[in-house]
Structure 1
Amino acid sequence: MTPPSPPHLLFIFVFIFLNSVVSSQQFLTSERIILLNLKQSWENPPSLANWNLTSSPCIWPEVQCRNGSVIGLELESKQLIGSIPESICNLSNLENVSLHENLLQGEFPRVFYKCSKLIHLDISLNMFVGALPDDIDRLSKLVAADFGGNNFTGDIPPAIGNLSALTSLLLYQNLFNGTIPPEIGNLSNLETLGLAYNEFADPEIPSEFQKLNSLKVLWMPATNLVGKIPKSLSNLVNLELLDLSLNYLEGAIPPELFLFQNLDRMFLYRNNLSGQLPAVIQSPNLTQIDVAMNKLTGSIPDDVGKLQKLEVFNLYSNQFSGRIPASIAQIPTLRIFRVFRNNLTGELPPEFGLHSKLESFEVSDNQLTGKLPENLCAGGFLTGVIAFSNNLTGELPRSLESCDRVTTVQLYDNKFTGEIPSGIWTLPNISTLRLYRNSFSGELPSKVAWNLSRLEISDNKFSGRIPPEISSWVKLNVFKASNNMFSGEIPPEFTVLSELTVIYLDGNSLSGVLPSEIKSWNSLTTLNLARNKLSGQIPPSFGSLQDLSELDLSENQFSGQIPTQLGNLRLTSLNLSSNKLTGKIPSSFDNMAYQNSFFNNPNLCSSSQISNLKNCFPKNSHSKKFSPKIIAMIIILSVFVLLAAVLFVLFVFKDYQMKKPKRIRTTWKLTSFHKMDFTETNILSCMSEANVIGTGGAGKVYRIGVGPPRGFVAVKRIWNNKKLDQNLENEFTSEVQILGSIRHSNIVKLLCCLSSQNSKLLVYEYLVHQSLHRWLHGKKRKSEPGLVPGFVLDWPRRLQIAIGAAQGLCYMHHDCSPPIVHRDVKSSNILLDSEFNAKIADFGLAKILEKPKPGEGGMSSIVGSLGYFAPEYAYTTRINERIDVYSFGVVLLELVTGREPNEGEGDLNLAEWAWKHYGEDDSVIGALDPEINGYMEEMSTVFKLGLICTSTLPSSRPSMKDVLEILRRCNPLDQLPEEMKQGREEFDVAPLLKRESYITSYQETEDII
């Protein structure tokens, strides 16, 4: 046969090419129809508006093609609704499917069994329910499976161990409550295993896991693990990340764990581990050791210094003892060193910071001695020097003057001496200096860092005058300098500091008169100048300090009258004792609530009740002006008038009195829940309109003075002179039942209740700053009383409030048995005391999560407040803690954005608006409250946490315990209350929002402090 000529060959090639193009186009056209049908079945979401009949699917952003055929669908966060149509597998070459974070529902989508080439499947963060199918191994080619963030229940099927090609298996954050199948150990190619946040039934880590020779990531926090950490895990020679946190493990850490050849990170915090840290640590690639918040004992092994790649060393909140090995300070890669709250002794290794770029140095709450290391800042990256509550001595090293990145220095409760190096006062980023209870000396500088907001130097030996240049300390918020040796007058320039809230200068030698004009102390809540040598009159201008709640001027030499203007203040604490004051006490203070406020002022007088003062109008003081005859005539005339009045009443109104029904005296039943320091009469005698401080749907709230030591109480009247309806009766019963039985510092105290036939009174502790809503949004309402124009609740206070409220809710959800759901969490139900500590209030709608009795339904009526409702609340048949988490998420968004719960855009509420903003903009900065300067990183983290809490899928929301943990970690240590200072560490919430990297939430951490 004669071979074809070149022109014929060309014709054949062109024909074959055109035929393949036509076939490809025809094939692609059919796939486009399949994709458009998928779009229609998902109710044509706007996010897929670019899918149309005219363009090629291969140019659609969500579609991946190879050789003209669809091989992948990236449909993350596209608001897909409904189920997954079987037609999806008509895309015959489909290999990759990601349906992450949508609203898809139903049981596990078996439709994917027909996708014969499927190797990557991600259906995470949807609303799938039920059990994983027993024949799940029909997805035989799967390499990566992410089923996390759904509502799957029951057991993980053993058949999952037959998916031999798997390299990544993520089953985190579901409702699995069965056992962990040992068959997972058969997955020899598995590199990532995520079982986190499931409540497995009393599980232990299966011994078969030792066969997972390829495993790099074992992620099992909050999985109810019990028993000891199995030694068999040491066989996982390729392990890089081990996270067994938030479980119930016990015993010692097996020494074999530290023989991993490639272990990159270890997280074992918040367990009940005990025993010693093993002395054998030989993994050359170990970069992070975190065994914090356990019960580990013994000394820190010297071998830790051999880990020349170690970056993070967290041993805090254990029971370690002995010295800190000097070799640790010589590790060239060390960045984070946190060993606070242990029993460590001896001196700090002097080479800390000399060989590495140290970022965090926290050794507080130990028994360390000696000097602070000289070279802590040598690397130029240190952000905090935190060594309080030790026995450290000597002077502060001059090298601290070069710590340009340091934001906080906390060295209180030590034995330091000498003067503060001048450069420390002006470090460019310093915001907090806490140096109290040492033996520092010297004078206050004329200049400090522009951002210094907290200065605490009480109980030292500072001396000299308060410099007039203090007016330049414009960011100062807290100034505590009690019990030093300051002298001279208080300069008028001191009163221009507009951000000051707390001043303690008691126990010094200050003298002279107080500034007559208060210029800008608009935010001041506490002023303590006791035990000085101040004289002159108390300035009337103090009466303009509308936020002032505590005033102590005792043990000075003040004279003259008490200004009546002070009566304009709502003082919860007033002490003017031991002065030389004269005249009559202002009527606002002339009552038993201020009985102990005026001791040792012999020339003061009271016109009513204060027993330790003389009476301003003594008996018979005017009798000398009249003769005995005139007095007798007055008495006779008075008797005559009185008799005439009595006769008039008896004869003129006799018939009326006979017909008028007899009044039944109201009787009150008092039930107390705490030790009472007031009586029923104190409450009932003051229930007047003049004492009303709030009104709600159920009644009014009164502020009533009950005398020292309590001062005031808040009384909520459920109804007023009307018969209680059943709903109000239920609210009263609920609140009494719950608040009467629980005790927590972040839950408002119910002191007692009074009940009569027509009224119910609940008596609470009085919180001077009232509600969070008032401080966040009250400035938008000119009629809001007690708020200073232009006042902004700063970020440290907002974060303090968030942590306090979270602690209260965490107690209700996790520490009460049975748990309590508040059901009406909102900013107006978070009350604030004089230090802005938060307390959860108003439990009228709360529900105790007891199991329903036989025959009772689970449906609960919809209660709560608009803008705070969880989406599922309208149709759920079961009330659980997640609705509180959603509402608290809205409060977090209020705190970071300054917006009200229904203040979104258009028809969106705040939560919907926040999610929309986050989806459209990579940066969240534009959503933050513009009235807050700085703290952008911390605020961004809390913004994202608010988003997580307001997830539409209940199972995707964290527990309040997790929320509290994250808030504690993102709080600068200098702002935390004492009881929670030790919970801080690195954390990044971004992976919780972008679930495709959920497993790396601890791999790619960043320090947000």
Structure 2
Amino acid sequence: MTILPLSSLLLLLFLLPFHVISQPTTTQNDQNTLLNIKQFWSNPPALNHWNHSSNPCTWPEITCTATTVTGITIINQDITGPVPPFICDLKNLTHLDLNNNYITGSFPTVLYNCTNLRYLDLSQNYFVGRIPDDISRLSPEIRYLSLSSNNFTGDIPVNISRLLKLSSLQLHANLFNGSFPEEIGVLKDLEELLLGFNPFTPSRLPQSFFQLEKLRKFIMTEANLIGDIPGNLSGMPAMELLDLSVNDITGTIPSDLFLLKNLTEVYLYGNNLIGEIPDSIEATNMQIIDLSANKLIGKIPDGFGNLMSLWNLSLMINHLSGEVPASIARLPNLYDLRIFTNNLSGPLSPDFGRYTALKIFDVSQNNFSGNLPENLCYRGQLKGLEVFENNLFGEIPKSLGNCSSLKSFQVYQNRFSGSIPDGLWKVSRLERMIIHSNLFSGELPQELAPILSWLDIHNNNFSGQIPAGVSSWTNLAVFKASDNLLNGIIPQELTALPNLITLLLDGNRFTGELPKTMVSWGSLNTLNLSRNQLTGQIPVGLGLLDSLTALDLSRNKFSGHIPSQLGRSLVSLDLSTNNLTGTIPSRLDNGAFDRSFLNNPGLCSNNPLLGLRSCSSPSETRSSRKISAKFVAIIASIAAVLLLLALLVTGYVIVQYRRRNSDLRWKFTSFQKLDFTESTILPRLIENNVIGYGGSGKVYRIPVNRSGEFVAVKKLSIKNDLDQRLEKEFLSEVEILSAIRHSNIVKLLGCISCDNSKLLIYEFLENRSLDRWLHSRKAPSSHGLSGSVRHMVLDWPKRLHIALGAANGLCYMHHDCVPAVIHRDVKSCNVLLDGDFNAKIADFGLARILAKESELNTMSTVAGSIGYMAPEYAQTVKVNEKIDVYSFGVILLELTTGKVASDGNENSSLAEWAWQQAISGAPTLDALDNEVIEPRYMSDMTNVFKLGLWCTSKLPTNRPSMQEVCQMLLRYSVAATVTTTEAWNNGGDVPDHLPLIKLENV
């Protein structure tokens, strides 16, 4: 141990007080100001450690220089109320960051008094109103100004250009509905300019913006830009990121865009750019190029093959042609290639995957030919392989059998042949294998990938039996093997799959009897075994499957009686062309199954609608004659008395009815062959048959025959005389629905009208409306809900199926009807569901027919529902198809979040809340419905959530068409997920196939 001399100890004791005194402390005034700020904000819990007994320079939210406060940083701490009016009593404040709180009020002009302020961040709060014209009174020293993600409106003031030292100006994600000044181009020190996500009036990009020599990041995503991109981009030599996505930019890509040597990221997706991609490329540091969803033509430039830092190339949904340059396949960092939906052709370079760790390889929907590259998974990281709908041929490379990272394998609609590599069936991470419509052969494996949920091999040449090992395919939800050469019996082991929803084995060579028990098929919804050689009786077990709604056993050799249990939940049934005998079970003995029993000579029915022979026989007639004459006389006397009473009562009722309704002359109009008239409907319009209420009146569930068939009848509200509005709604709905024939649009069977009453007769859909399933705790327990009463939670596969069906219906209305039909009131309660959860668009009372395609009509009044109305509709009363797209986007958000359309928070709708979530950078996972999310569905749900955001863009021109929506939903319904949303938010793999807004860039 070293012992200090006494003199040294004395020196330390002497210096110690000075050392303590030299520790930084704030002035009393600064400390008092900070404590007053805390009190002004009602003492938020996050600031509990702010007190008189501690030094503010030690508080984590405070920075100091010497003994004075220079910075306040309070982020995401639930601060409420306005900015304190005395905050600039902190005379040396240079840094103020209050982002992601609940601060309210107009722009805080009190900050004009902070004369030394250099950094101001008020983003992600609740400021409203206009930015004041005198904003130039902020400190002339200010370098960083962020007011993004608030509710500012109006114009961006010209005087903002007088803050000459600004290096970062961030005003994106507000409600600016005026203009932005071209004078911003005088801010020569500006390095970041973010103005996107605002509903500006349609504007061209000023040339002055492209003369900002220091500008590195320029984002004007979804800013209602029109016209061409100005030329002479060489005036921006420092440019690193250019994002002009999702606008109405036209014209060609400037020829000098890729001459900007510092450029690393370009986002121009979702515009109307035409022409060819510039082939002069010197931006050798490029990492991301996204030109997708435009109208580009020509070839992919050879120069892209020189971009050694490029990791993401997205050119999908254009009109590009020619071959893919071989040099692109040799880029060392390219791991995400998306060039699907073009007219590209020629062979795929065998070098793809050899020089880079490919993760996403999507070249689907082109005209590529030749073999699949051998080395796609050479680096062992390939997750998504999608080459479907091309002209590729040959065998699948054996190397893919060792690709342990693969999650999606989709090669359907090509000309591939040979067998599937053994290892590929068993890849541990594989979730979907879709290989239909090729020439594949071989037998099915005993073992499948443990988490494989979707296997589609239909329309190939697979042979042999279904292996006994099929019982281990426990995660399989969809198995489609139609139109192959499979043979043998349907094994009992196949019925052990608990998650199976769809099983299609039609068009094979199966023989023998079906398994007798199938209790594990509790989720089975669709079963098709037609066009085989199956024999024996139809098992009773099929009638015990609560979820089974579609069954096709036609064109086999089944015999015996039809089980009486069959039909509990069936909506679609085909037992035709078999050897069945006996009577039709009562549940099936109605007109809904008039095509279900044809070509079974042994079947009979007393219902003439089924087209079968009558079940009455001569022997039955003879036995009936043995009844004694005395008994007949007694019965005849009683019947005569009852008949007389009935005639008297009926006559009285008719007289009274005619007396009360002498002015009513009912007109019944049918739009297809019906077996009932108005006399079937009118007496049953009673309260016990009411199943719903709408803005126009009540909806009834009416039985129309003894076989259990029902129709839905909408009765328009009646006062004294039918008002003009309801008359228009009635005529509109009749005009539209009587002409439309589509499987995803509700059928209008007929209408009944008189001078002061209107009735519309629809097909009855047993699962009622989507909103009842999404927003109620228990499913409706009456009026024909298919199957037993079940919990209200719809799983994700059903939700995606519903979304695609509803989208198809709207797409038909917008793009296939001539003239086009705009619904104007799309919402979840107008999406009806049949027993198979097929979606049908209903309630066309507000619909209008456009005289010309894409023509804007102006309505005299605004109609629609809160939470679903597009903002421009409420403000301008102008109608085009984009208002339906907006409303459908809200439905997508309902399906993914489980929230109600009007339920964002206390100040916003669901669409506004979803955009706030996205722009704030919050994980998408936080927004999804916890009741249905599972790891295997997470990316699909994330993609649909983002599609909902795109559909609910503030600007109509930025929304996709329903054709594009259908295309994306169809892709999601068959495409495998490749990454999680966290990976995307953290800069990792991008899971979606949709050219959506890169929210992390804002």
TM range (shorter): 0.7 to 0.9
| Residue 976, structure 1, aligned to residue 973, structure 2 | yes
Closer/same/farther in 2, CA of residues 834 and 332 from structure 1, 3 Å limit: farther
Closer/same/farther in 2, CA of residues 791 and 844 from structure 1, 3 Å limit: closer
Q: Distance in 2 between matches of 1:985 and 1:781?
A: 31
| Residue 164, structure 1, aligned to residue 164, structure 2 | yes
Q: Distance in 1 between matches of 2:911 and 2:903?
A: 9
Query: What residue is the counterpart of 1:468 in the other structure?
Result: 468
Query: What residue is the counterpart of 1:93 in the other structure?
Result: 92
Closer/same/farther in 2, CA of residues 92 and 844 from structure 1, 3 Å limit: farther
Amino acid at match of 2:106: E
Q: Distance in 1 between matches of 2:218 and 2:441?
A: 53
SS of equivalent to 1:531: coil
1:141 CA drift (Å): 1.7
Closer/same/farther in 2, CA of residues 239 and 822 from structure 1, 3 Å limit: same
Q: Is the 8 A contact 2:247 2:958 kept in 1?
A: no
Amino acid at match of 2:505: L
Q: Distance in 1 between matches of 2:833 and 2:721?
A: 31
Q: Is the 8 A contact 1:809 1:960 kept in 2?
A: no
Amino acid at match of 1:205: L
| Residue 258, structure 1, aligned to residue 246, structure 2 | no
Query: What residue is the counterpart of 2:118 in the other structure?
Result: 119
Q: Distance in 1 between matches of 2:339 and 2:657?
A: 79
1:889 CA drift (Å): 9.6
Tell me which moved more, 30-39 or 753-762: 753-762
Deviations 1:572-601 (A, max 9, x none): 221111111111111222222211111111
Q: Distance in 2 between matches of 1:180 and 1:91?
A: 33
| Residue 715, structure 1, aligned to residue 706, structure 2 | no
Closer/same/farther in 2, CA of residues 804 and 572 from structure 1, 3 Å limit: closer
Closer/same/farther in 2, CA of residues 969 and 288 from structure 1, 3 Å limit: farther
Give runs of aligned pairs for residues 830-909 of structure 1, distance below 5 A.
830-833=831-834, 836=837, 838=839
Deviations 1:499-518 (A, max 9, x none): 11111111111111111112
1:680 CA drift (Å): 6.4
Q: Distance in 2 between matches of 1:444 and 1:303?
A: 45
Query: What residue is the counterpart of 2:136 in the other structure?
Result: 137
Q: Distance in 2 between matches of 1:789 and 1:133?
A: 57
Tell me which moved more, 142-151 or 883-892: 883-892
Q: Distance in 2 between matches of 1:428 and 1:883?
A: 44
SS of equivalent to 1:487: strand
1:192 CA drift (Å): 0.8
Q: Is the 8 A contact 1:31 1:70 kept in 2?
A: no
Amino acid at match of 1:599: L
Query: What residue is the counterpart of 1:237 in the other structure?
Result: 237
Amino acid at match of 1:114: N
SS of equivalent to 1:29: helix
RCO comparison, higher one (Cα < 8 Å, 6+): 2
Q: Distance in 2 between matches of 1:653 and 1:797?
A: 49
Deviations 1:592-634 (A, max 9, x none): 221111111111111122363111125896258759x999x99
Closer/same/farther in 2, CA of residues 559 and 426 from structure 1, 3 Å limit: same
Query: What residue is the counterpart of 1:7 in the other structure?
Result: none
| Residue 749, structure 1, aligned to residue 724, structure 2 | no
SS of equivalent to 2:447: coil
Query: What residue is the counterpart of 2:29 in the other structure?
Result: 27
Deviations 1:547-573 (A, max 9, x none): 22211111111111111111323x222
Query: What residue is the counterpart of 2:41 in the other structure?
Result: 39
Q: Distance in 1 between matches of 2:51 and 2:825?
A: 48
| Residue 405, structure 1, aligned to residue 405, structure 2 | yes
Amino acid at match of 2:973: L
Query: What residue is the counterpart of 2:556 in the other structure?
Result: 556
Q: Is the 8 A contact 1:337 1:360 kept in 2?
A: yes
1:26 CA drift (Å): 2.1
1:530 CA drift (Å): 0.8
Unaligned runs of 5+ in 1: 1-9, 992-999
| Residue 356, structure 1, aligned to residue 356, structure 2 | yes
Closer/same/farther in 2, CA of residues 506 and 23 from structure 1, 3 Å limit: closer
| Residue 586, structure 1, aligned to residue 585, structure 2 | yes
1:235 CA drift (Å): 2.2
Query: What residue is the counterpart of 1:515 in the other structure?
Result: 515
1:422 CA drift (Å): 1.0
Query: What residue is the counterpart of 1:574 in the other structure?
Result: 573
1:83 CA drift (Å): 3.5
Q: Distance in 1 between matches of 2:427 and 2:728?
A: 56
Give runs of aligned pairs for residues 281-296 of structure 1, distance below 5 A.
281-296=281-296
1:973 CA drift (Å): 8.0
Closer/same/farther in 2, CA of residues 302 and 772 from structure 1, 3 Å limit: same
SS of equivalent to 2:64: strand
Query: What residue is the counterpart of 1:422 in the other structure?
Result: 422
1:704 CA drift (Å): 6.1
Q: Is the 8 A contact 1:238 1:260 kept in 2?
A: yes
Amino acid at match of 1:38: F
1:178 CA drift (Å): 3.5
Q: Distance in 2 between matches of 1:100 and 1:204?
A: 31
1:796 CA drift (Å): 4.0
Q: Distance in 1 between matches of 2:814 and 2:645?
A: 66
Deviations 1:61-105 (A, max 9, x none): 433333232222334444444433431212211112233344444
Give runs of aligned pairs for residues 244-323 of structure 1, distance below 5 A.
244-323=244-323
Tell me which moved more, 749-758 or 227-236: 749-758
Closer/same/farther in 2, CA of residues 467 and 439 from structure 1, 3 Å limit: same
SS of equivalent to 2:430: coil
Tell me which moved more, 502-511 or 728-737: 728-737
1:911 CA drift (Å): 12
Closer/same/farther in 2, CA of residues 323 and 896 from structure 1, 3 Å limit: closer
SS of equivalent to 1:208: helix
Tell me which moved more, 21-30 or 124-133: 21-30
| Residue 345, structure 1, aligned to residue 342, structure 2 | no
| Residue 489, structure 1, aligned to residue 489, structure 2 | yes
Tell me which moved more, 194-203 or 477-486: 194-203
Scaled by the length of structure 2, what TM-score is found? 0.81
Percent of paired sites with the same residue: 39
Q: Is the 8 A contact 2:35 2:51 kept in 1?
A: no
| Residue 664, structure 1, aligned to residue 661, structure 2 | yes
Closer/same/farther in 2, CA of residues 932 and 82 from structure 1, 3 Å limit: closer
Closer/same/farther in 2, CA of residues 291 and 99 from structure 1, 3 Å limit: same
1:462 CA drift (Å): 0.8
Q: Is the 8 A contact 1:604 1:614 kept in 2?
A: yes
Q: Distance in 2 between matches of 1:813 and 1:176?
A: 30
Q: Is the 8 A contact 1:770 1:833 kept in 2?
A: yes
Q: Is the 8 A contact 1:98 1:123 kept in 2?
A: yes
Q: Distance in 2 between matches of 1:802 and 1:89?
A: 53
Q: Distance in 1 between matches of 2:624 and 2:100?
A: 91
Q: Distance in 2 between matches of 1:536 and 1:843?
A: 48
Deviations 1:338-369 (A, max 9, x none): 11111111111111000000010111111111
SS of equivalent to 1:938: helix
Q: Is the 8 A contact 1:269 1:290 kept in 2?
A: yes
1:920 CA drift (Å): 15
Give runs of aligned pairs for residues 519-538 of structure 1, distance below 5 A.
519-538=519-538
SS of equivalent to 1:273: coil
Closer/same/farther in 2, CA of residues 548 and 92 from structure 1, 3 Å limit: same
Closer/same/farther in 2, CA of residues 541 and 219 from structure 1, 3 Å limit: same
Unaligned runs of 5+ in 2: 1-11, 850-855, 988-995
Q: Is the 8 A contact 2:668 2:678 kept in 1?
A: no
Q: Is the 8 A contact 1:432 1:974 kept in 2?
A: no
Closer/same/farther in 2, CA of residues 807 and 148 from structure 1, 3 Å limit: farther
| Residue 1002, structure 1, aligned to residue 998, structure 2 | yes
Equivalenced residue count is 955
Closer/same/farther in 2, CA of residues 132 and 469 from structure 1, 3 Å limit: same
SS of equivalent to 2:401: helix
Q: Distance in 2 between matches of 1:910 and 1:949?
A: 14
Amino acid at match of 1:148: S
Q: Distance in 2 between matches of 1:116 and 1:652?
A: 94
Q: Distance in 2 between matches of 1:574 and 1:126?
A: 57
Closer/same/farther in 2, CA of residues 651 and 341 from structure 1, 3 Å limit: closer
